[in-house]
Amino acid sequence: MGLKEKILTKSLYVFHLSSGSCNNCDIEILDCLTPRYDLERFGIILVGSIKHADVLLCTGSTNRQTIPRIKKLYEQMPKPGFVVAFGACGASRGLFKDSYNTGAPLDEIIPVDAYIPGCPPKPEAVIAALVKLIDKVNAKKKG
Amino acid sequence: MKILGYIFSFLVFPGFLFSSIMGLLVGWVDRKVTARVQWRVGPPWYQNFVDVVKLLLYKETLIPAGVSAGTFFLMPVLAASSASLVSTIMLMVNAFPKSGFIGDVIVVVYLMIMPSLALMLGGFASANAYASLGASREMKLMLSYELPFILSLVVPIMKSGFAVKFGTIISHQHASGLTIASASGVISFFVMLLCVQAKAGFIPFDMAEAETEIISGPFIEYSGKALGIFKLAKAILTFIIPIFMITLYFGGINFKGWGFITSVLEYVLILVLMILIKNTNPRVRIDQAVRFFWGPLTAFSIIAVVLAYWGF
């Protein structure tokens, strides 16, 4: 684990993007910051602007309206940045898979680094995904 | 050699490097106390260092389309350099009260405006609607808090026989009682406490960079190194503001023996008071802030000046 990876994974600024979510996942994201789980312990905070972010946290079923916006936001994120697909919809469009207005799953639009399954995922699942993301960043360094 | 000494004291100790480190530690105190107030655990002590090192060394710095890159990147440097100049002057004056010059209070007041000014110009240069909105709010906020700030600053100056010099203010307080130990001193202390709350951009008056409302305002287009330097400037300012108030109201920082512990306690008291005001108040609107500063606070500071003139 190099110094760069250590510093990158100790201070993850999260930008929360809702691409047509039903708001359940968005509530669970806020749950992670409340006293019971308190992700600020690990240096994770929500930021308002994509230009400050390290993690693009994408909830929702990526409908046709939001796909160009997702691409634009991914391009605006300062690199190195990571993409996390949040919830069943973010991972695979969930039960809106055959809907007329969901174009493509998130990982066919932009590269995704970690998936958080669940509808909505529990905060424990979010923390587990975080550990996976950190492991992946460190593995990239080795590989 | 003298020039080298000045450069060293500006860049390393007690200037930029030292006050950045102290400012980031103070920023951690802010985050930790905030977390404890909200019944959370809060980040570890090195969190702000990690954040700033990440922004300065490892993140990409983006230049938005359509900005004038010169102004856009000059402003964080301007903010950080004027903030560290304030901190150099304040710490030198506290360590060696004779080292100041006549009018250094006025110089410090002007230099403390510079970070807000840089934030404003940076916001206007960002070619972003939210940044412009935040910058215009910052401008209105500055116009509103500077009036009671200067008026309450007049009280310690009057108390020390109209000396516009930190050294004389400190030595006069040692000779004939602290400014805070008088009626006018108490009133102007609390007025100034609320004014520096706005100067530091703390919550009841953080409408310029409201994260949930105009997504960080002037900071919105800043990324990487520029954002990191802005964060450092803000940290230095937050570090130096309680020292500024200790100098004016509690007779300066005492570096010898038990006096140092008392000074540290005073510092922590002012800092925690600011953080608690931040955590127990909602953000006010800009018109409410202007009315608050130009109404009751200006009235209180005028009362304090009149009381100080009468010798209370």
* Residue ranges per structural domain of chain A: 11-136
Q: Over 70: is that where the pLDDT of B68 sits?
A: yes
Q: Over 60: is that where the pLDDT of A7 sits?
A: yes
Q: Over 60: is that where the pLDDT of A87 sits?
A: yes
pLDDT at B299: 92
CA distance A82 to chain B (A): 12
Q: Over 70: is that where the pLDDT of A141 sits?
A: no
Task: Give the lowest-confidence range in A9-13, B131-135, B213-217, B269-273.
Answer: B213-217
Condensed to tens digits (0 to 9), the pLDDT of residues B1-41 reads 788 878 877 777 787 888 889 899 999 999 899 898 988 88
Burial of B304 (0-12, 13-18, 19+ CB in 10 A): buried
Tell me which residue of A49, A46, A76 sits closest to B218, measured CA to CA: A49
- Judge whether B38 is closer than 8 Å to chain A, CB to CB: yes
- Judge whether B211 is closer than 8 Å to chain A, CB to CB: yes
Average pLDDT, chain B: 87
Q: How many CB atoms lie within 10 A of CB A27?
A: 11
% of residues, chain B, pLDDT over 90? 12
Cα separation of B47 and A9, whole Å?
11
Q: What number is the average pLDDT over the span B52-67?
A: 86
Q: Identify which of A34, A52, A80 has the shortest CB distance to residue B58.
A: A80
Q: What number is the average pLDDT over the span A68-81?
A: 88
Structure tokens at B94: 């506290």
A-chain residues within 8 Å CB-CB of B219? 49, 52
Q: Taking a C-beta distance cutoff of 8 angstroms, is the pair B218, B123 a contact?
A: yes
Say yes or no for a CB contact (<8 Å) between A78 and B58: no
Condensed to tens digits (0 to 9), the pLDDT of residues A18-57 reads 888 888 888 888 888 888 888 888 888 888 888 888 889 8
pLDDT at B209: 80
pLDDT at A143: 47
Quick one: pLDDT band at residue B149, thresholds 50, 70, 90?
very high
Mutate to test the interface with A, among B28, B30, B33, B40 (most CBs of A within 10 A): B40
Condensed to tens digits (0 to 9), the pLDDT of residues A93-109 reads 888 888 888 878 888 88
Q: Identify which of A8, A38, A40 has the shortest CB distance to residue B54.
A: A8
Burial of B135 (0-12, 13-18, 19+ CB in 10 A): buried
* CB contact set of A9 (below 8 Å; sequence gap of 6+): A133, A134, A137, A138
- Domain boundaries A11-136, corresponding CATH code: 3.40.50.12280
pTM: 0.88
Q: What number is the average pLDDT over the span B153-172?
A: 85
Inter-CA distances, B308 with B154, B155, B242, Å:
9, 6, 22
Inter-CA distances, A60 with A5, A63, A129, Å:
29, 8, 17
Say yes or no for a CB contact (<8 Å) between B40 and A79: no
Say yes or no for a CB contact (<8 Å) between B44 and A41: yes
* CB contact set of B32 (below 8 Å; sequence gap of 6+): B42, B43, B45
CA distance A63 to chain B (A): 24
- Judge whether B226 is closer than 8 Å to chain A, CB to CB: no
CA distance B212 to chain A (A): 7
CA distance A122 to chain B (A): 19
Domain boundaries, chain B: 2-310
Average pLDDT, chain A: 85
CA distance A47 to chain B (A): 7
- Closest chain A residue by Cα to residue B52: A11
Q: How many CB atoms lie within 10 A of CB B53?
A: 18
Task: Give the lowest-confidence range in A134-143, B41-50, B116-125.
Answer: A134-143
A-chain residues within 8 Å CB-CB of B218? none
Say yes or no for a CB contact (<8 Å) between B43 and A40: yes
